[in-house]
Amino acid sequence: MTTAMLDGITVLDFASVGPAARASRWLADYGATVVKVGPVPAHGEVQIAPPFFTYGAHRGMQRIRFDLKAPAGRDAFLRLAAGADVIIESFRPGVVARLGIGYDDVLAVNPRIVYCSTSGYGQDGPHAGWAGHDLNYLAVGGYLHCTSPRADGGPPIPGATVADAAAGGMQAVIAILAALVRRQTTDQPGYLDVAAADGVLALMALAADEHLATDAIPGPGHDILTGRYACYDCYEAGDGKWLAVGVIEPRFYANLCRALGLEQWLDHQTDEAVQDEIRADFARVFRTRDRDEWVAELAPADTCVAPVNSIPEVVADPQFAARDAFVEAEHPKHGRFRQVGPVLAGCGRSSAPSPVPDADATDADAVLAAAGLSPAERESLLAEGVVA
């Protein structure tokens, strides 16, 4: 693509971590101009400072800081917001209104704004005031209950922040893009109340809908997708590494049985009476060879077998390399390093190293100039310390 799909869209993002920071990362990957908005150094304790490499190290983004408790700082932010397309914030419910930068405040200066509030439980409801993180949202949404338990019987700690990323960040991106499409045809602004817990519920809809329709109680081992049958499980290979087996379709299951020399189980894929025997035979045969030997033979043979990769194996995987999944970045203090690039469908790719900013650097003067503030106004705000 010669033009990025969100070229010309300006996003102001208050988040330092979490779902909102994920959302702005992906919006930037689609070509939006993203300006990270933070507190002036005197109020730096307000935000978490993540490691320099997180969220793509803010490649392709700008940064500015405001003292929003000072009238001049708040007014300067509203001048910037007047020319923005999207604002993303992740304060606790009610905070932006108290600061004078909430949806109604911005709407007064920008009648076409798309304003996205991200939180754990939403802006209203009995849990709106609860503090939380990814694990909490996965817990209340049923995700942890339906995942195979750890050795002591308790819910596992997931290996990825599914609520922050998929349930929160991607939900925010979807909602923002939908609001921008509507604005394009109707000129209407939009307020978006993105709750990570709601997103987890959306991800768990198969289980929740089954319960609502049938009174079933889904959980680990309830159905084929949660480990009820041997054909959908993980197995240890001879070298101690693991294989993921996900043969749902009968023909793929038959291919696997034949490849493992276990034809006696061809007609028993979902036979409840013999699942322990099938699982034991699968485990026995998989332990006879190393993981990568099995992958080389089985993965191309319509058996739905894949390696359980460690992160070092992920970044060395030839499939990701072939799809240009990783890019190089250049940091003024930490030098050059690799990172996950714009991998989502339709994002632009670049072969040149991406310059990434230092955490202490800002683009305040350039950002304010683009918002139409005069040199004298910019100089005054910077000198007063209400903008940095």
Q: What's residue 48's pLDDT?
A: 66
Kindly give the pairing relationship between strand 326-331 and strand 354-355: parallel
Q: What's residue 140's pLDDT?
A: 96
Contacts of 378 (CB under 8 A, 6+ apart): 364, 365, 368, 369, 387
- Asked whether residue 312 is domain-assigned, the answer is no
Residues 331 and 298 in one domain: no
- Asked whether residue 3 is domain-assigned, the answer is no
- Whether the CB-CB separation of 191 and 210 falls below 8 Å is answered with no
Q: What is the spatial distance between Cα 334 and Cα 52, in angstroms, rounded to a whole number? A: 9
Q: Which of 82, 88, 25, 34 is nearest to 62 (CA)?
A: 34
- Asked whether residue 218 is domain-assigned, the answer is no
Residues 114 and 190 in one domain: yes
Q: What is the spatial distance between Cα 256 and Cα 303, in angstroms, rounded to a whole number? A: 5
Please state the rounded mean pLDDT for residues 109-138.
96
Residues 171 and 294 in one domain: no
Residues 192 and 285 in one domain: no
- Which tokens belong to 24? 């702005």
- Asked whether residue 314 is domain-assigned, the answer is no
* Structural domain that includes position 265: 224-236+242-307
Residues 135 and 161 in one domain: yes
Contacts of 322 (CB under 8 A, 6+ apart): none
- Asked whether residue 274 is domain-assigned, the answer is yes
Residues 154 and 257 in one domain: no
With b for 16 or more beta-carbon neighbours within 10 A and e for fewer, the 297-334 pattern comes to ebeeeebbbebebeeeeeeeeeebeeeebebebebeee
- Asked whether residue 85 is domain-assigned, the answer is yes
Residues 142 and 17 in one domain: yes
- Whether the CB-CB separation of 274 and 212 falls below 8 Å is answered with no
Percentage, residues of the chain above pLDDT 70: 98
| pLDDT above 60 for 62 | yes
Residues 117 and 58 in one domain: yes
- Asked whether residue 212 is domain-assigned, the answer is no
| pLDDT above 70 for 329 | yes
- Using one digit for the tens of pLDDT, what is the confidence trace for 223-264? 999 999 999 999 999 999 999 999 999 999 999 999 999 999
Q: How many domains, the chain?
A: 2
Cα 46 to chain centroid distance, Å, stands at 23
Residues 47 and 176 in one domain: yes
Q: What is the spatial distance between Cα 332 and Cα 353, in angstroms, rounded to a whole number? A: 12
Give the H/E segment covering residue 21. helix 18-29
CATH code, domain with 259: 3.30.1540.10
pLDDT tier, 43 (very low <50, low <70, confident <90, very high otherwise): low
The residues with which 337 forms a beta bridge, in sequence order, are 329
- Whether the CB-CB separation of 158 and 147 falls below 8 Å is answered with yes
Residues 125 and 35 in one domain: yes
pLDDT tier, 57 (very low <50, low <70, confident <90, very high otherwise): confident
State the Cα angle at 110 between 11 and 66, rounded to 5°.
55
Domain boundary among 276, 307, 338: 307
Q: What is the mean pLDDT of the chain?
A: 94
- Using one digit for the tens of pLDDT, what is the confidence trace for 180-220? 999 999 999 999 999 999 999 999 999 999 999 999 999 99
Of 91-95, 224-228, 320-324, 344-348, the one with minimum mean pLDDT is 344-348
Please tell me which residue in 43, 133, 145, 222 is annotated as part of the active site.
133
Please tell me which residue in 67, 134, 164, 198 is annotated as part of the active site.
164
- Whether the CB-CB separation of 125 and 93 falls below 8 Å is answered with no
Active site residue 133: yes
Domain boundary among 281, 307, 333: 307
Active site residue 164: yes
Residues 99 and 231 in one domain: no
Residues 295 and 346 in one domain: no
CATH code, domain with 69: 3.40.50.10540
